[in-house]
């Protein structure tokens, strides 16, 4: 089983931030990545739709022999993870992107934390609930920032448009005085520098990529599933081909990537 790949999914390029960190922290592993670009953005969809997409993608990743499935999407982690855990219980190991971040924050001493994410993630209240259960934080301010995913997927980063959108969202009064800001969407690390700069680097901007990759490493070690040297190459699948996905994937994985369109819905 050690030889089997790690399955990872997201609605689009966001999960590549996590996949990239996984390759850095676990260089001996190979990946099977699925970007559900046909249904992007997930943040505007109903919880039922997200559950059904996540279920089918998990099956697809298991058909491709994944030894674990990493839900590299906050929207799916907040709306579908409990369902996946029940339905795939005993069939695979599932990891989400929210619990490892909450565990990390429980070791810090923040009092006021901000969370930004998609409408679905924020309306689920998952971060707020879990942070209050597990960490000493007393004040959690959540803000939906729905324009950020389409902005990133359309390639608006480090320009006037992205600066204006980021500034407008983060100027929200309720965020005043936060000590840390959780990037509650795996797309957002792509604009992490712009966000840190908005706060003059005075707020800890917490992105899940390395935290989740470290949690994955611990899980593999605990289950004796760690692969030191994979013999197979990484595979990338999308439900709809977009040149931007390929461009970002090549940026993260330097050079040639094996990208295929997989029509898993018909």
Contact footprint for ligand DGL (CB under 6 A) = 10-11, 14, 40-43, 73-75, 118, 121, 149, 185-187
CB of 142 to ligand DGL, least distance (A): 13
**Judged by CB, which is closer to ligand DGL: 149, or 178?**
149
Asked if 185 is an active-site residue, the reply is: yes
Count other C-beta atoms under 10 Å from residue 229's C-beta.
Answer: 9
Relative orientation angle of helices 208-222 and 15-25, to the nearest 10 degrees = 50
Tokens representing residue 34 in the block? 């699925």
CB of 126 to ligand DGL, least distance (A): 11
Options 185, 191, 203, 220, the catalytic residue? 185
Tokens representing residue 106 in the block? 């429980």
CB of 40 to ligand DGL, least distance (A): 5
Asked if 73 is an active-site residue, the reply is: yes
Q: Please identify the residue of the shown chain whose CB is closest to the bound ligand DGL.
A: 14
Residue 72 — φ and ψ, nearest 5°? Answer: -90, 45
**Judged by CB, which is closer to ligand DGL: 54, or 75?**
75
**Judged by CB, which is closer to ligand DGL: 188, or 198?**
188
Tokens representing residue 43 in the block? 């943040």
**Judged by CB, which is closer to ligand DGL: 42, or 110?**
42
Contact 42, 71 (CB under 8 A): no
Pairing of strands 6-10, 68-71: parallel
CB of 37 to ligand DGL, least distance (A): 9
**Judged by CB, which is closer to ligand DGL: 85, or 91?**
85
CB of 38 to ligand DGL, least distance (A): 11
Options 32, 73, 190, 206, the catalytic residue? 73
Known catalytic residues? 73, 185
């Amino acid at each position: 089983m050690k030889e089997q790949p790690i399955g990872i999914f997201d609605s689009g390029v966001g999960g590549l931030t996590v996949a990239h960190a996984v390759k850095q922290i676990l260089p001996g592993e190979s990946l099977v990545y699925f970007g559900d670009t046909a249904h992007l953005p997930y943040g505007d969809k109903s919880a039922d739709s997200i559950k059904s997409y996540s279920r089918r993608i998990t099956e697809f990743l298991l058909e491709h022999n994944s030894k674990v499935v990493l839900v590299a999407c906050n929207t799916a982690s907040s709306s579908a993870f409990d369902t996946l855990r029940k339905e795939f219980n005993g069939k695979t190991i599932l990891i989400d992107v929210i619990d490892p971040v909450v565990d990390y924050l429980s070791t810090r001493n923040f009092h006021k934390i901000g969370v930004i994410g998609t409408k679905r993630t924020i309306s689920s209240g998952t971060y707020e609930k879990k942070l209050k259960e597990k960490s000493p934080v007393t004040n959690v301010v959540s803000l939906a920032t729905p324009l950020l995913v389409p902005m990133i997927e359309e390639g608006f980063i480090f320009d006037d448009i992205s600066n204006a959108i980021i500034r407008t969202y983060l100027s929200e009064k309720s965020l005043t005085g936060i000590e840390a800001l959780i990037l509650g969407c795996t797309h957002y690390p792509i604009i992490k520098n712009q966000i840190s700069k908005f706060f003059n680097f005075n707020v800890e901007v917490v992105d899940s990529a390395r935290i989740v990759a470290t949690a994955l490493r611990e899980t593999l070690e605990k289950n004796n599933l760690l692969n030191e040297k994979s013999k197979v190459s990484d595979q990338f699948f999308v439900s709809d081909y977009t040149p931007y996905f390929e461009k970002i994937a090549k940026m993260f994985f330097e050079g040639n990537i094996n990208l295929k369109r997989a029509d898993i819905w018909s």
